[in-house]
C-alpha cells in the first residue's frame, strides 16, 4: 500500500506539474493570440494609412498635372496669338512692298523728307481747292437769291429768278 501511496503522490505531483504546465501554455497561447491580434490591427491600420496617403498623393499629383496642362495650354494660346500677329504683320509688310513697287521710280528714289514736303504741298492745294469750291457755292446761293419783276409790253408782270440745279 505504501507503494500505492507513493505512486499516487507521484501521480499528483505529475498532475500538478501538468496543470501548471497547461496553465503556462494557456497563458502563453493567450499572450501570443493577443500579440497576433495587435499585430493584425497594426498591419490593417498601416495598410489603411498607406492607402489614404497614396490617394492623397494621387490627388495632389493630379492637381499638379492639371496645373501644368493649363499652363501649357495658356502658353500654346499665347504662342498661337503671337504667330497670328506675326503673320498679319508679315502680310502687311508684303503689301507695303507690293504697293511700293506700284509707285513711279522717281517717287521710290525720293527721300522721306522730300515726300513729306510734297504731301504737305498736295494737302495745301486741296485746302485751296476746297476754299475755292466753298466760295463758288456761296456765290451760287447769292445768285439764287436774286429775283426781278419784269413788266412786259403787254402789261403782264413776270418774276424772273435764277434756278440752278445742284
Question: Residue by residue, what is the 3-state secondary structure of 55-124?
Answer: HHHHHHHHHHHHHHHHHHHHHHHHHHHHHHHHHHHHHHHHHHHHHHHHCCHHHHHCCHHHHHHHHHHHHH
163's CB contacts (< 8 A; 6+ apart) are 144
| pLDDT confidence bin for 28, thresholds 50/70/90 | very high
137 is a domain residue: no
62 is a domain residue: yes
150 is a domain residue: no
Distances (CA, A) of 31 to 12, 24, 26: 28, 10, 9
36 is a domain residue: yes
pTM over 0.85: no
Query: Are 115 and 104 in contact, with CB atoms under 8 Å apart?
Result: no
Q: Indicate the pairing of strand 147-151 with strand 157-161.
A: antiparallel
- How many domains does one find in the chain? 1
Residue-wise pLDDT for 50-82, tens only, equals: 999 999 999 989 989 989 999 999 999 999 998
154 is a domain residue: no
155 is a domain residue: no
Residue-wise pLDDT for 103-159, tens only, equals: 677 766 777 788 788 888 888 888 888 888 899 888 888 877 777 788 888 888 888
Residue span of the structural domain in which 56 resides: 2-102
Computed on alpha carbons and rounded to an integer, the radius of gyration of the chain in Å comes to 58
133 is a domain residue: no
Amino acid at each position: 500500500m505504501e507503494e500505492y501511496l507513493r505512486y499516487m503522490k507521484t501521480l499528483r505531483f505529475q498532475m500538478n506539474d501538468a496543470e501548471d504546465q497547461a496553465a503556462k501554455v494557456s497563458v502563453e497561447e493567450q499572450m501570443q493570440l493577443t500579440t497576433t491580434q495587435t499585430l493584425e490591427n497594426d498591419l490593417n491600420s498601416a495598410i489603411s494609412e498607406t492607402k489614404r496617403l497614396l490617394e492623397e498623393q494621387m490627388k495632389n499629383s493630379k492637381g499638379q498635372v492639371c496645373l501644368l496642362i493649363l499652363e501649357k495650354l495658356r502658353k500654346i494660346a499665347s504662342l498661337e496669338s503671337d504667330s497670328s500677329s506675326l503673320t498679319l504683320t508679315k502680310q502687311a509688310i508684303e503689301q507695303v512692298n507690293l504697293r511700293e513697287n506700284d509707285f513711279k521710280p522717281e517717287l521710290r528714289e525720293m527721300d522721306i523728307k522730300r515726300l513729306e514736303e510734297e504731301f504737305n504741298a498736295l494737302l495745301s492745294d486741296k485746302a485751296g481747292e476746297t476754299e475755292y469750291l466753298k466760295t463758288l457755292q456761296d456765290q451760287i446761293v447769292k445768285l439764287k437769291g436774286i429775283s426781278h419783276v419784269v413788266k412786259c409790253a403787254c402789261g403782264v408782270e413776270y418774276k424772273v429768278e435764277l434756278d440752278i440745279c445742284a
